Amino acid sequence: MTFKKTMAVLLLLFCPLLVQAGNVLDLDTTDKRFYWGMQIGQGKEVEMNVGMFHMGYDISNWLAIEAHVGKGSRLALTDPSGDFLNLSTDYLAAAFVRLNLRYEKVTWYVMGGASTLQINGDYDITNGAAGITGSLGNFFNLNGLAATGNFDDRLTGTAYGGGFEFYGSRNTALSLNWIRYFDSSDAGALSVLSLGFVHHFDWPRTASRY
């Protein structure tokens, strides 16, 4: 399924949720500390679809911690010269500290942290790989590689981004975010614009949340 078709399906699934306009969030009456979500997006530096699952914990109304794990679609790049690159992501994981600004049905947020990316593949860049380098953009650096071979590398870097969540019900929201999941001066970068959802667990507490 293409990125655009996936976005359309997600919007159709969440239309009934978004038209529920009666409830204004009251984040202090019940415990919604734990939450989870899923999202799918497309890379900016390279045409790669990225699917992610995340879980988080609200430390307070404005501060949270959040962990993401997922992977990207396989890349199979070729050049008219005969050069090629096949690249797969075994996993992409990131841990964030998140700052929230909440107003009625909308939560805006920014976050930052660290990430790790496991990739593997094979390649042949005997003829210079001009077309392949252009397709990769800043995602993966071919400098220093032999003319042919394979690789299995774990890359680490910083991660940061932001977005917003629109709540159609008390606990469930549609999310839109931009996250630079991987940023390394040595290896490259991967930024993803994603659409998804988030759900807060509604467990009552005997005392006030804050």
pLDDT tens string 7-50: 454 444 444 444 443 343 444 434 568 999 999 999 988 889 99
- pLDDT, one tens digit per residue, over 65-103 is 999 999 999 988 888 888 888 999 999 999 999 999 998
Q: What pLDDT is attached to residue 65? A: 96
Among 5-9, 59-63, 102-106, 117-121, name the one with the lowest average pLDDT: 5-9
User: In one letter, which amino acid is 35?
Assistant: Y
Q: What is the CATH T-level fold of the domain 3-14+31-200, as seen in this structure?
A: Porin (2.40.160)
What average pLDDT score do residues 44-70 get? 93
Please tell me the pTM assigned to this model: 0.78
- pLDDT, one tens digit per residue, over 163-206 is 999 999 888 999 999 999 988 777 778 999 999 999 998 654 43
Domain boundaries, the chain: 3-14+31-200
Q: 97-136 burial, b if ≥16 CB within 10 A, otherwise e?
A: ebebeeeebebebebebebebebebebbbeeebebbbebb
Q: Quick one: residue 161, left, alpha or beta (phi over 0 = left, psi -120 to 50 = alpha)?
A: left
